[in-house]
């Protein structure tokens, strides 16, 4: 028997598969479509202090190798999340991690304090990729000092596990990751989307109402996979890989590169049943490989010499 459970940031999850923020709403919207019994945790749609209407439509555009989204953090706000959404999400047979975003360290702390005190909350994901209006020229996700301030404030506000969601856009992602770890983050999510756009050649207009969106899907996987490899060697906290996972092999690559768990997102829109296929596929692969636990795959690729290294050794 293969044990699919993992422990990350002090949480014991039934599987290493998490559902990425925003891809299944607050969770119950996909009840009956997704086998939540095989999901380690859902990460809710990002919650902000006040309700947000989001960006102007269209908000989604398919592209070769992925999808562009420009949702704009549409959500019901903290008050309604606590009164309506959190308790409903907790009825699903999986853990609930709440994604939060604020315009300042104080807002992040207030969100974490209010949501973190609820028993239904297993952990919090800090979405530092959101716009930071207080510093127009240096985005929060690229500023190690700013990230440290946010994580420290969140850490003081709650004892629940903190997952720091990084952006692949940062010029020095390792410095941001190290700052987050030192400030108290329990795990890293690697990572968010890349900026992109599409133009309708017939109308000559951008296909998204906000012109630009975040690229997710298979085209993102090589970028974030490389970041997982690099960061897993540079930090001491566990990593959740995210970006372009559609098959068992995609998830396995992230584990082999150093991730302890992984998030599935864009693939859910086309095939909600992909959740069961990935977890079942990993269990079957592990049984074939003689590995009793999926955690046995984490970082395994770093122990294998590349063809180039073997040639040099010879």
Q: Which of 82, 130, 150, 173 is catalytic?
A: 130
Residue 57: exposed, middle, or buried by beta-carbon count in 10 A (0-12, 13-18, 19+)?
exposed
User: Quick one: which of 233, 231, 214, 218 has its CA closest to 264?
Assistant: 218
3-class SS of residue 61? strand
Alpha-carbon gap, residue 16 to 3, rounded angstroms: 11
Residue 130: exposed, middle, or buried by beta-carbon count in 10 A (0-12, 13-18, 19+)?
buried
Strands, E assignment, the chain: 6-8, 11-13, 17-19, 41-43, 60-63, 66-69, 95-100, 123-127, 162-166, 187-190, 194-196, 199-200, 205-206, 213-216, 239-242, 261-264
3-class SS of residue 29? helix
- Rg (C-alpha) for the chain, rounded Å, is 19
Alpha-carbon gap, residue 112 to 117, rounded angstroms: 8
Which contiguous run of DSSP H or E holds residue 109?
helix 105-116
Which contiguous run of DSSP H or E holds residue 275?
helix 274-289
User: Quick one: which of 303, 220, 293 has its CA closest to 257?
Assistant: 303
CA atoms within 13 A on the CB side of 152: 10
112 is catalytic: no
3-class SS of residue 244? coil
Alpha-carbon gap, residue 296 to 290, rounded angstroms: 10
- Enzyme catalytic residues: 130
């Amino acid at each position: 028997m293969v044990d699919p459970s993992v422990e990350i940031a002090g949480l014991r999850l039934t599987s290493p598969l998490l559902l990425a923020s925003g891809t299944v709403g607050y969770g119950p919207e996909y009840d009956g479509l997704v086998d939540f019994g095989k999901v380690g945790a859902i990460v809710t749609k990002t919650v902000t202090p006040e309700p947000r209407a989001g960006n102007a439509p269209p908000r989604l555009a398919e592209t070769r190798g992925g999808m562009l989204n420009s949702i704009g953090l549409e959500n019901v706000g903290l008050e309604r999340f606590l009164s309506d959404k959190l308790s409903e999400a907790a009825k699903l047979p999986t853990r609930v991690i709440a994604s939060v975003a604020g315009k300042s360290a104080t807002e992040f702390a207030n969100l974490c304090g209010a949501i973190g005190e609820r028993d239904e909350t297993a952990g919090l994901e800090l979405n530092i990729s959101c716009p930071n209006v207080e510093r127009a020229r240096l985005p929060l996700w690229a500023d190690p000092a700013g990230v440290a301030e946010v994580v420290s404030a969140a850490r003081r506000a709650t004892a629940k596990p903190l997952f720091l969601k990084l952006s692949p856009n940062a010029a020095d992602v390792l410095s941001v990751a190290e700052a987050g770890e030192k400030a108290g983050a329990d795990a890293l999510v690697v990572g968010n989307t890349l900026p992109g756009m599409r133009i309708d050649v017939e109308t000559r207009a951008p296909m998204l109402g906000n012109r630009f969106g975040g690229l997710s899907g298979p085209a993102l996987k090589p970028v974030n996979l490389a970041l997982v490899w690099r960061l897993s060697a540079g930090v001491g906290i566990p990593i959740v890989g995210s970006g372009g996972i559609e098959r068992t092999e995609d998830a396995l690559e992230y584990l082999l590169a150093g991730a302890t768990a992984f998030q599935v997102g864009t693939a859910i829109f086309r095939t909600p049943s992909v959740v069961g296929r990935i977890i079942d596929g990993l269990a079957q692969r592990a049984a074939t490989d003689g590995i009793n636990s999926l955690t046995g795959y984490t970082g395994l690729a770093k122990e294998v010499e590349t063809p180039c290294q073997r040639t040099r050794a010879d």
